[in-house]
Amino acid sequence: MDIFEKCEKPSLAKELKEKGLYPYFHALESRQDVEVMMEGKRRIMLGSNNYLGLTTNPEVVEAGVKALEKYGTGCSGSRFLNGTLEMHLELEEKLGKFLRKDGIVTWSTGFQSNLGIISSLVGMHDYVICDRENHASIYDGCKLSYGKMLRYKHSDMVDLERVLQKVPETAGCLIVTDGVFSMGGDIAKLPEICALAKKYGARVMVDDAHGLGVLGEGGRGTASHFGLEDQVDIYMGTFSKSLASLGGYMASSPAVAEYVRHTSRPFIFSASIPPANCAVALASLTYLEKHPELPAHLRSLSQYAREGLTGRGLKIRESAANVPTPIIPIYTYETYHTLDVSREIYERGVYVNPTLPPATPEGEALLRTSYMATHTKALLDEAMDIIADVMVKNHE
């Protein structure tokens, strides 16, 4: 059998392309901003993870340009060897102070961070326990580890306790959860998770990719939001969202960080974060520290969008504990209906992300919209009017 035979078989992607419904790989012709040029037309961007809008911030852009001029285009090696810049160490030190954790390790991408953390810490005879709606990188990190993965129903604390009861007392155990879930925008039940971890002797890791810059004191994330910074053992996060760059990090105790630094294959065998990306992440973090009001402003705009969407008759997923996050899913349910409305919304000048199974349960497809601190209410109203007009027309 030819290993490439599968590549020639019919697929959903091929079918969608034939029907003109393929929703992916639209090309940007401008900066990532609240309004973009995409395939020759102005679009209001409601599909970016650029939560604080810093990708076009002059201070942040200038920092990247200066680093490019000073250090060149890349590091051409891993952090272990020739790839450590003084600026990498500066970024790690600044992150440690901001997140109030003394042990920091950085990776070239957020995806690599989860691979590197989980595969390093979860060894033979250990257990890793995951929320069913955790990010794909968490699942892949579990696959790369030698431990046993168990899952619990999304945000179901009764089910989490049932799963914890299966773990032998002699085994190590790590509970891993998203802080803000990337598709639903809901927040993990971190107080209950930490209480159960303490009861059963487990450790807690929070993927705060969508929590940094969004929740907590000055944008410090989900653990800060709940006042649980001393009870969450590991934070993982990315630079590609609120910090407008590329890369990822782990924040933990110094002992855990040192262990991971010397055992994480994605860290040891990957080139380090390029100079411009490192400088941009550093500048974005500095800007966030100078403007601690930004996360609150982002949440205020997110609440405005939630009220605007529901006021226009659209069904959205409610935010947990009345805390608005900048991820707002609009329910569309059926796959082809979702593709139809997302195509028309796009053609009328608004970019949103259609989210289909297996990223959602079957019959629960949705439009994932996301918001930035640099959006204006006028832009949001324009976009919401278009979305509502398309959605209502498609239900008539």
Q: Which of 210, 225, 242, 245 is catalytic?
A: 210
Q: Which of 88, 101, 225, 241 is catalytic?
A: 241
SS (H, E, C) the chain: CCCCHHHHCCCHHHHHHHCCCCCCCCCECCCCCCEEEECCEEEEECCCCCCCCHHHCHHHHHHHHHHHHHHCCCCCCECCCCCCCHHHHHHHHHHHHHHCCCEEEEECCHHHHHHHHHHHHCCCCCEEEEECCCCHHHHHHHHHCCCEEEEECCCCHHHHHHHHCCCCCCCCEEEEEECECCCCCCECCHHHHHHHHHHHCCEEEEECCCCCCCCCHHHCCHHHHHCCCCCCCEEEEECCCCCCCCCEEEEECHHHHHHHHCCCHHHHCCECCCHHHHHHHHHHHHHHHHCCCHHHHHHHHHHHHHHHHHHCCCCECCCHHHCCCCEEEEEEECHHHHHHHHHHHHHCCEECEEECCCCCCCCCEEEEEECCCCCCHHHHHHHHHHHHHHHHHHHC
d(CA 307, CA 380): 11
Chain Cα centroid distance, residue 110:
8
Q: Is 241 among the residues known to form the active site?
A: yes
Q: Is 108 among the residues known to form the active site?
A: no
Contact 321, 187 (CB under 8 A): yes
Bond from prior residue into 358 cis (ω within 30 degrees of 0): yes
Contacts with 191 (C-beta within 8 Å, 6 or more apart), sequence order: 226, 228
Q: Which residues are catalytic?
A: 182, 210, 241
